[in-house]
């Protein structure tokens, strides 16, 4: 992750003027040469074109083309004058796209041919020399890897910011008591800080998966040409180094047909989206009137068109919903790739839209969740009251019998269950039972039992490594900041 960042994955053309088919028929065969005499049918033109969405690769395409051009000049495959003209022309084209004045032609199919076509308009025949020793197959694989790599770097930074927001809330609430749940039933008292730290760990694994995916994708396909390599004396190590890759890919057929990097990205994005969705679900529950554990400000709440009392956590709900789109993107690409023979097939044109959509959906989801976590206020009184209900210290009671009365845990568990039944019938908490009522079940009971039945005592006692004790939480927050930030 220490390489110089070359590209910006999120940058898109400011405008995208697509010339209508009839206006652009005259350039339909410019890039195909002498093999085709007639223009394609408009239906074929429409299904074949990807310029509507792969415009997003323009920075990557120009960056890789400049690296390729420099290498051709250094290897004396291209003369210096032509190389300089090509590079200057490519930089001018980038400025045109940045400003929104570039005309994208659907007849030229994709971003690669659109840029090459515009370069020809600018510098003439020398533009055709740029494609020496490369194919659109290795060109698009290189561009796409560059885009995904930069998207990974962007998302990693966004996830780090999200972890920071969670850690800040966890630190504020290191000693705030709440009920911990299993099966969405009150289980044991925990702290809010401990609960939130679980998500810090999840996001840490997500970031680790992103780094792993990045390391595996960081081989340059450029120079693999269509599938068999090239007869020109190119220097693939030079272009790999120029573009920040660790090395050139070892096999030209694999290089142009590989989309594992996109699948890994989507898989990691899907797992991350699931983690965000889980937290989104909890925020929805916490902000409900029935729980009233937390509150979002007006900035992150919406109302109802008919019910004036409503405060809806729509941001959390939308993040929860976005997970479906991201997972669908993964299934989309898996389905595209599952039956493809080696090497390149046009099916792979369908690889970019799901990746773009997943990256966009995940990025906005992370941003919204980060902002909501910063905004959220916890209802400390309600959280503690909820922790005190549901007999959440029953396990503490059983543990006390094992530790103090030397009763085997299974028997202690049974006795604690009887105590819960008695308290339930009386409509009181365990710590509100009298010692006499407890002794009626187990004569060995002493007044010391009341020292473990409060929720404060319960959370303080859970001081094993990774446990919920407030001091543990504070130590864990400090270590998490060292590990992840």
Q: Return the DSSP state at 450.
A: G
Q: Classify strands 17-19 and 103-105 as parallel, antiparallel or unpaired.
A: parallel
> What are the residues whose beta carbons fall under 8 Å from the beta carbon of 20, sequence distance 6 or more?
106
Query: Tokens 């630190």 label which residue?
Result: 171
* Residue 68: active-site member: no
Calpha distance 84→119 (Å, rounded): 13
Calpha distance 326→277 (Å, rounded): 11
Cα→Cα distances 49→43, 121, 360, Å: 10, 21, 22
Calpha distance 316→220 (Å, rounded): 39
> What are the residues whose beta carbons fall under 8 Å from the beta carbon of 177, sequence distance 6 or more?
189, 190, 191, 192, 383, 384, 387, 455, 456, 459
**Mapping DSSP to helix (H, G, I), strand (E, B) and coil, where does residue 300 land?**
helix
Q: Which of 81, 101, 297, 304 is catalytic?
A: 304
Nearest to 235 by CA among 26, 469, 74, 39: 74
Calpha distance 7→247 (Å, rounded): 18
Q: Which of 183, 305, 434, 464 is catalytic?
A: 183
Calpha distance 207→362 (Å, rounded): 13
Calpha distance 344→387 (Å, rounded): 59
**Mapping DSSP to helix (H, G, I), strand (E, B) and coil, where does residue 305 land?**
coil
Instruction: State the CB neighbour count (10 A cutoff) for residue 300.
Output: 21
Omega before 265 cis (within 30°)? no
Calpha distance 302→132 (Å, rounded): 57
* Residue 195: active-site member: no
Cα angle 178, 278, 152; round to 5: 125
Alpha helices in 377-454 (DSSP H): 380-388, 394-404, 409-426, 435-439
Q: Which helix (H) or strand (E) holds 281?
A: helix 260-286
Q: Are residues 187 and 392 in contact, defined by beta-carbon separation less than 8 angstroms?
A: yes
Calpha distance 156→356 (Å, rounded): 16
| Overall residue count recorded for the chain in this entry | 485
Question: What would you report as the CA-atom Rg of the chain, rounded to the nearest whole angstrom?
Answer: 31
**Residues marked as catalytic:** 183, 304
């Amino acid at each position: 992750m220490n390489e110089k960042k070359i590209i910006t994955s999120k940058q898109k053309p400011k405008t995208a003027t697509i010339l209508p088919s009839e206006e652009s028929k005259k350039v339909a065969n410019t890039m195909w040469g002498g093999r085709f005499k007639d223009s394609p049918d408009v239906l074929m033109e429409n299904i074949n074109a990807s310029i509507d969405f792969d415009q997003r690769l323009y920075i990557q395409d120009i960056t890789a083309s400049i690296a390729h051009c420099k290498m051709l000049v250094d290897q004396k495959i291209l003369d210096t004058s032509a190389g300089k003209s090509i590079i200057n022309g490519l930089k001018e084209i980038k400025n045109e796209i940045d400003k929104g004045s570039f005309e994208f032609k659907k007849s030229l199919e994709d971003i690669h041919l659109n840029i090459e076509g515009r370069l020809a308009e600018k510098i003439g025949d020398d533009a055709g020399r740029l494609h020496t020793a490369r194919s659109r197959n290795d060109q698009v694989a290189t561009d796409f890897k560059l885009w995904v790599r930069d998207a990974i770097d962007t998302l990693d930074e966004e996830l780090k910011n999200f972890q920071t927001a969670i850690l800040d809330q966890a630190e504020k609430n290191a000693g705030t008591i709440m009920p911990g749940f299993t099966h969405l039933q009150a289980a044991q008292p925990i702290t809010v800080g401990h609960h939130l730290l679980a998500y810090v760990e999840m996001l840490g694994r997500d970031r680790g998966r992103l780094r792993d995916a990045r390391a595996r994708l960081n081989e340059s396909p450029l120079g693999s040409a269509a599938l068999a390599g090239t007869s020109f004396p190119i220097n693939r190590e030079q272009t790999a180094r120029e573009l920040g890759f660790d090395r050139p890919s070892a096999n030209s057929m694999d290089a142009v047909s590989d989309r594992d990097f996109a699948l890994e990205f989507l898989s990691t994005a899907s797992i991350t989206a699931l983690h965000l969705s889980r937290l989104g679900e909890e925020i929805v529950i916490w902000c409900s009137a029935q729980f009233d554990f937390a509150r979002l400000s007006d900035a992150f709440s919406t109302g109802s068109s008919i019910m004036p009392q409503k405060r809806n956590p729509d941001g959390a709900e939308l993040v929860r919903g976005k997970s479906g789109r991201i997972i669908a993107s993964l299934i989309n690409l898996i389905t595209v790739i599952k039956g493809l023979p080696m090497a390149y097939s046009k099916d792979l044109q369908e690889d970019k839209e799901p990746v773009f959509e997943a990256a966009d959906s995940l990025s906005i989801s992370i941003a919204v969740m980060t902002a909501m976590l910063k905004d959220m206020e916890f209802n400390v009184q309600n959280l503690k009251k909820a922790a005190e209900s549901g007999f959440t210290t029953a396990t503490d009671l059983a543990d006390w019998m094992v530790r103090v009365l030397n009763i085997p845990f299974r028997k202690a568990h049974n006795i604690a269950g009887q105590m819960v039944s008695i308290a339930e019938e009386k409509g009181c908490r365990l710590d509100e039972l009298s010692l006499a009522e407890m002794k009626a079940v187990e004569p060995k009971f002493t007044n010391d039992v009341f020292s473990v039945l409060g929720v404060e005592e319960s959370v303080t006692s859970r001081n094993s490594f990774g446990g919920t004790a407030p001091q543990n939480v504070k130590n864990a927050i400090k270590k998490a900041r060292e590990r992840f930030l």
